[in-house]
Structure 1
Amino acid sequence: MSWLRSREANVDIDRPSADFVDQVPADTVLTRAARHVLDEMAAEIENEPVALILTDANGTVLHRYAGDRSLVSALDRVDLAPGFRYAESQVGTNGIGTALEVGAPLLIRGEEHYNGPLKKFSCAGALVTHPVTGAVLGVVDLTTLADNTNALLLSFAKLAATRIRERILDETNELDRALLHDYHIACRHSGRPVIAIGDEVLMMNTSTQQKFDSRDQAAIIDRTRDARGRTEAFTTLADLPSGITARLSYQPIFVADTLAGGIVRIKEQVERARALGRDRLPALQSVAGSSAQWKHTVRSIVDVCTRREWLVLDGEPGVGKTTLLRAAHVSVRGGHDVSVLDAAVLTGTELLDQVSNTLDAGSDLVVLHAHVLSDGDLTVLSELLHTVRLDSPSDEPWVALTTHVSQGVPDTHPLLRLFPKTISVPPLRHHLEDIPELVRHLLDRAGAADLTMSTAACNQLMRLSWRGNVAHLRSVLDEVGRHRRSGVIEPQDLPAECRATTRRTLTQLEALERDAVVDALALHDGDKAAAAKALGMSRATIYRKIREFGIVF
């Protein structure tokens, strides 16, 4: 079967064609646990003509231990070296890629290799799985020349995999104990709502459950997802569905140099009664969304514009900052001219010249992507705006800037002293309940009034993380609209990327792999066996891919 899969994948039989991966993670659960285990086991075979190899779950070689120089040279000639991916679909039958395909340890003897140059080797691969989640983390492989084949190779590989798994469990327990310890301290000392978040752990104290209803709790948990894996402390504000604003303070917890997780302390910034008594949301053209968090953002922007306070609007790309500013300006200052200048399009000199001309004309001003300006350009912009504020304090134009949430203008820059207010626009993943309304709005704007989205399709869209935010959603709807002009959009009509619900960011290769699996399943009406056959993979592999990518079918 492995040879059949290799043939269907068009594997070159004359030479291995392993891809080289530019960036291989250096510090992971697998590498931390394997480092000491493999160092010890490599010492036991130091004088033997055998190489001890560790790969990740994609078959990419992370480390190679070998004392025999001639063997190292031979492995280099077939690219069985750190950074190269030894997937079965690329190099054919081998102890690494085939073990991942069948999901079991195995020994591949010389002639059993599909690729000619690999027939001079024998290799034994054993999977390393996470002891808690069961996820495949990688492979331990022992490779030697075919003449030295020994059944003990597989036993040694399985022993190494077992020891790594045991060490992962020890580290997991140690990290969880550290996180739990600091969580209990935070709960006792603060007396306030506290959440602990780790790779596989999320804990919420009684105070959090008592102070926030289920919808607010879900929103807080969703915001804490952004903190997972962060190694620096930070504080952010979260607008919750109930209408209150909560201050979330994240503090990372370490065991030695390893991140165990983090503690999030929560404090209400706006009293509930006051929050619920706010005025109705002003209607803005070209803006859709009715969630509490979105309404709070819109209301804040309109309030600032009404008071003619200068404003910095920050947020991730694609969240709708420009749309919000244009709509708020039309609503509040509709009779006043506004010039919208993009610092990402104009050169620094061109931008500053146009800023000067706009201010001289007395028009309102919006500068997009101010974070891309150099320190020198920011200083000149600050001087221009400062002059306007001095010269016409009673009838000065309204000015707003947009910045990237993680690349904003430095807090200490004099320019920001001219702007009393910074408002953050939430990413789409923080107000997913607005997606049905956004879908209708975007379809109407695209001229697809006869096209509707089914409840099932909307629910599927609301399961996604939308790293590209509203701009990403618009591109998805544009793609759907190219294939149909009217009727009801069902889940099967969505692009492949929307049929998977994994929250992590995929590499380009993983995204292509996900799309291929989704397309094959669609072509074969969800028949996993037929889809696997068409893709040249085993049923076990396609089930693993479906779980790994969160594919819904």
Structure 2
Amino acid sequence: MGYEIVTQDGLRRLRSARETFLAAQPLPADFPAWLAAAWRRSLFLGLEVGRAEVPHVPVTPDPVLVRAAAPVLEHLASTLAGLHAAVVLSDRRARIIGRWTAEDRSRTHLDAIGTRAGADLSEPATGTNGISHVLATRRPTVIGGPEHLFDLYQQTVCAGAPVQGPLSSRPVGAIAVIGRLDAAPAVLQALAATAAAAVERELLHQASARERSLLDVFLRASPDGAPVAVLDGRTRLVSDAAAQLLRPADLDALEVWVRAAAGEVELGDGTRVLLSPALGADDPGVLARVLPAPAEARRVHRRHPPGVLRRAGLAGGSALWQALERAVSRSGDRPLLLVGEAGVGKAAIAAALQPGARMVDGSAPDATAALESLGDDDRLVLRRLDRISDAARALAVLDRFGGRAVATYTTSGPAPSYGDWTPYVVRVPSLRERTEDLGDIATALGAPLSVAALAVLRRHSWPGNVTELAAVLRWARAEAAGAPIAPRHLPPELVVPEAGPRLSELERAERATIAEALRTTDGNKVRAAELLGIARATLYRKLRRYRLT
């Protein structure tokens, strides 16, 4: 039994836990640690739980963000017709700067909960919600009903996703799909994440001339991966080598010098940084060249060198895959927890990061005993931490192994919290988020694709991720019998007729969610509609639209 908002029992348990918490009583031992921490943080920051309205503040929207997001979110709003949900856009401080809806019901709901331009959805104002939590954790999440402390949100579900700027180390805002508590969280989350990815690509396309100039300076300064950074108070470009030597606090300190003409700064651990203007003496922006401190004084901030996944034969060149490479390279000497959907390749990544490690499957009956039998010199990959029966004993082993342990956890939501065990958490993106990598992955799997076949695969939503792709390519390679793989060699269900509809990314995400619901219910459309939280008539219309009948 859990604390899920998708079941009546889960809602009952969440409501009871919320009342217990607000009465200053101890929460149940099995209550999710991440949610308890979020609640405590909200009260610490001064949340007025029973406040009758959402605070509103003056806000000046970032025109670049709005210009990139508006077409995507306007289209998403039309996609949400029938789901009784709306979409909103916030800035990096969790203040609403736009909302889109195609239905009176969802518009009325937004008005009732005060969600309009200028609404302050930060934790001090409204507590944990699908925007404030996303901006704090930088990961997609769903917060619904009694997971909110704020009274006004008890009948609301909010699926949020961060929007990362093309040249920024922090989110520039967040997208949230908002509905009443009876909406389908899985559908809302898939649509929010897909919309955020689309906006990020548009932001990259629209990057200003100044940002492109900063990028040019950065690329010229580090052609061979030299430890350099370019900062201007808003944009941060940091090479992998510099990330090994600089902590986030160091970068914060260097931003004080964004108007420096030239000079040298010494950091607390002895690392020296040579500063020069990035774009000109009168232009804010600094180029920082990092000179490592002596070995005996230098802290080590990374265990895995840049490009470790590529050298291990794991294919990918998309922006998300490169971000994953950078993330794992910064894990330092901490244990690493890889989270993501089933089939995204977490185990392969873990094996690449810990070559020669002992691999233990958490779903095996003897998993805990296998962990405790490992020696002090062993390295460990623990698969399916979410399936292990005795989490307390497993965490004790992981804590003992420290940086010699990599664990994987299957989830499409926030990373779990394990109390005193504090791993470095890295999210592995789904295949539908990085379809640019399809060709590289196919080549790595020994199944090079024709241009036409690659186009077909890019139209698919890949609910089974890389595992599903590998199965499809095995089929296609057998069908092709040594010839180049063409569309006719692919499984029939993947080949949409040319006369069929051309689907946007948002529509492909919705199609994948509906297809998954049908698989879950063994094709029972009545149960699938209930699972998705939509009317049967709406489901039948979408089945015809997406040729799923």
TM range, smaller chain: 0.3 to 0.5
More strand per residue: 1 or 2? 1
Kindly name which structure, 1 or 2, has the bigger radius of gyration based on alpha carbons: 1
What TM-score do the two structures reach when normalised by structure 2? 0.45
